[in-house]
């Protein structure tokens, strides 16, 4: 068996699969190929499939850290590279068996969620600027729909009258291509009625996220939040106001977390709505602080006489 240029092999595999994958799929591997080519030029070396050894990956991780990438981005790249080497072996190209010896793990990511009290506060907020009030309400109302359905932005931003059926939101999801059926919250029904059963849509996600943050700042979601992450091989700790950390995906995460916090829904039932296939991934996805956990279990009989 002989090796093949690793970057070329990745490019061929991605080209075959890109038609069935999202744009993010190709973009991620394009970034890996770019870093491989830059590493190759910097160290004046050719990188074949059998060049990807444990030692090479150790060096490549240091190189990516020096590029200032976040730890979890690097983990994602290494796991994808290992998967590609595994595939190269299946195609009978030469590989080095030590490529799989690297055990690099993601660090816990930080993301906020909104409590039901905060969602109610957002829903009933009265915007003062009359000129921009309707535009702000459209973004706010669409976001609230996401907070109460656990749908992704690609799904909650494309809801139509046909998706509200007998008190349920029925939707075939874009990413996973499965049918979901979510009981429509009273706020969701009111929003459908407000827009004559045609909720706001057609907003590109970049525009939505930009103005969503400004709206959340106006509403006053300015609690100070401190969190840490690894970037460029160094641990960094930053403090942000809550509105800065809110995005379109906060809605889905908030819905899943609040459903869990009710204590009335089974985890597997919520996973049916969110599409998580394992409880391990589900619990990594939802956001519970120590205070949230304490409140959710405080009524348990264990803590009573």
Taking only the tens place, the pLDDT of each residue in 239-286 is 999 999 999 999 999 998 898 888 788 888 888 888 777 887 777 777
State the pLDDT at residue 19.
72
Please name which of 74, 89, 87 lies closest in space to residue 13, comparing C-alpha atoms: 87
Q: DSSP state, 196?
A: T
Token couple for 283: 């619990």
State the pLDDT at residue 282.
78
Name the least confident of 27-36, 50-59, 118-127, 174-183: 174-183
Three-class DSSP category at 151? coil
State the pLDDT at residue 218.
95
- Whether 106 has a pLDDT exceeding 50, the answer reads yes
How far is it, in rounded angstroms, from Cα 285 to Cα 228? 17
For the entire predicted model, the pTM comes to: 0.72
How far is it, in rounded angstroms, from Cα 60 to Cα 64? 6
State the pLDDT at residue 288.
61
Region 209-223 average pLDDT: 94
Region 54-69 average pLDDT: 93
Token couple for 111: 């993301």
Q: What pLDDT band is residue 302 in, cutting at 50, 70 and 90? A: very low
State the pLDDT at residue 272.
80
- Whether 300 has a pLDDT exceeding 70, the answer reads no
- Whether 294 has a pLDDT exceeding 60, the answer reads no
Please indicate whether residue 278 or residue 8 has the higher confidence score (pLDDT). 8
- Residue-range domains of the chain with CATH: 6-101 (1.10.150), 116-295 (1.10.443.10)
The size of the chain, in residues, is 305
């Amino acid at each position: 068996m002989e090796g093949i240029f690793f970057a070329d092999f990745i490019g061929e595999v991605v080209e075959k699969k890109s038609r069935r994958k999202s744009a993010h799929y190709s973009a991620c591997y394009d970034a890996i190929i770019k870093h491989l080519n830059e590493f190759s030029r910097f160290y004046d070396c050719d990188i074949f499939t059998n060049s990807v050894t444990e030692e090479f990956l150790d060096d490549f991780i240091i190189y990516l850290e020096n590029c200032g990438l976040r730890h979890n981005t690097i983990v994602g790249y290494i796991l994808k590279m290992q998967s590609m080497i595994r595939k190269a072996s299946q195609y009978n190209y030469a590989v080095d068996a030590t490529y799989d010896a690297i055990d690099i793990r993601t660090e816990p990511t930080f993301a906020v969620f909104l409590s039901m009290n905060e969602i109610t506060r957002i829903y009933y907020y009265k915007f003062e600027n009359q000129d921009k009030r309707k535009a702000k309400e459209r973004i706010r109302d669409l976001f609230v729909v996401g907070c109460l359905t656990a749908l992704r932005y690609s799904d909650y931003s494309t809801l139509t009258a046909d998706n509200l059926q007998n008190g349920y939101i029925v939707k075939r999801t874009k990413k996973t291509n499965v049918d979901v059926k979510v009981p429509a919250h009273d706020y969701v029904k009111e929003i459908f009625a407000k827009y004559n059963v045609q909720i706001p849509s057609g907003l590109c996600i970049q525009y939505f996220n930009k103005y969503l943050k400004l709206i959340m700042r106006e509403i006053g979601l300015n609690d100070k939040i401190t969190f840490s992450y690894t970037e460029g091989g160094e641990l960094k700790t930053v403090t942000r106001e809550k509105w800065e950390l809110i995005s379109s995906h906060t809605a889905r995460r908030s819905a899943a977390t609040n459903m869990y916090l009710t204590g009335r829904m089974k985890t597997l039932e919520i996973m049916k709505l969110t599409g998580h296939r394992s409880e391990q991934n589900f619990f990594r996805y939802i956001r519970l602080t120590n205070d949230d956990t304490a409140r959710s279990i405080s009524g348990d009989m264990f803590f009573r006489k």
